[in-house]
Structure 1
Amino acid sequence: MTDKQRTDRGTREYRMGELAERAGITVRTLRFYRERGLIPPPRREGRIAWYDDHHLARLRTIAALLERGHTLSGIADLASAFDSGRDVGEVLGLGEPSEETPVRLTPEALSDYFEGETTAENLSAALDLGYLATDGDELVHISRRLLDVSSALVKEGVPLSAVLAAGREVRGHAEALASLFVELLRPHAAEGDLQRLRPLAKSVVDAELSLALDRRLRGS
């Protein structure tokens, strides 16, 4: 049997030596990563361990994160949070958001958005909040706008943990506001009109938030 084969799903599989060569590391390093839980266990076929493209992608992610200054201990924590995260289908439900644009990210790209802040605790919080979901070896952020705003706040010096905590509070208030407007409109509009009227609800919230910020900033 050759060192490389294809599974029924068309994914390439590698023996340990070939995987290490493709990832640019030694077999000893690969074995160390496996023992530390940095990569998932291989598929076993008798005494032969088969690795696939997902393992190769994870090894390249580890290399990229090491280049960005992450420690192996930190990467192990990130890998654990990543592997336990909710699947993208679970977060997005039956369909993608009607107005928000999800963003696909590799773990190293996410690290670039939040330099020095992509800890296991923050990743777990973002996964729990539903901002992030997993899709194979990628992460999916549920909203381009939320991703950009969160990144901008971190660049202004606000810790990502504080941004996520605030996001959880905002989520609760937003759910309450959405319920308020749906209950307000439902007795007076056909079900199909609720989507058409949602900009009115957003305009009210935007105006009230603007006025509230004026009051807060004048009083500060």
Structure 2
Amino acid sequence: MISWAAYSGFSMKTTTFFSKEVFPDDNNKGLCFGLLVSAVVYTLAFMYGAVHEKIVKTLGSKMTYFVFHFLMFGCLFGILFTKNKWILMALMAPIGIASTVFNTIPYSIISASSPPQSLGKNIGALNVFIVLGQQTANLVIIAVGSIYKKWNWLNQRVGENQAYVSSGVVASAISCFLSFWIIDPSSEDATISIVSSEDDYEQIN
């Protein structure tokens, strides 16, 4: 949930940011470059997927989640301080890796830790929290927009859409902190189940 709250503002506002604030004199060129940046982000996410399993085996789920959310935190924070298109591309590209991490590790943990009769329910519950994270990001963007319009000091230093793109910086920091409480599926007591036992499952059905 928190990971998606960190990521959603970036994914929704990137092309608008390039169109209106990075290329204010040529919106179409800005839109095209924003789409190019998005392509780079998702290409890097795809390429990282080839080595993701090896990295998780080497670092473990907790450390992998922490490292790449810390990287996302640094990237989102850095975006606040530049409108150079190439620097922005370099800052945004690694966020694609973080998206691969938080789109795989939670599902992997639930799949490895859930008894068969609870797997579908647990994945469904995870999807609910993902949507809650996305909606939280929407509320954060609304709050950032309200603050931006009232705070002249911020107006002079950061673009409105630039602030929206980086609005997940706090959530990414929280994700770094919470990553140390990730349940390792290799531990003996790492069993996740909404349905407490097979008997309960049979009673429900």
| TM-score, normalised by the number of residues in structure 2 | 0.30
Greater helix fraction, Structure 1 or Structure 2: 2
Higher relative contact order (CA 8 A, sep 6+): 2
Q: TM-score, normalised by structure 1?
A: 0.28
Instruction: Choose 1 or 2 for highest CA Rg.
Output: 1
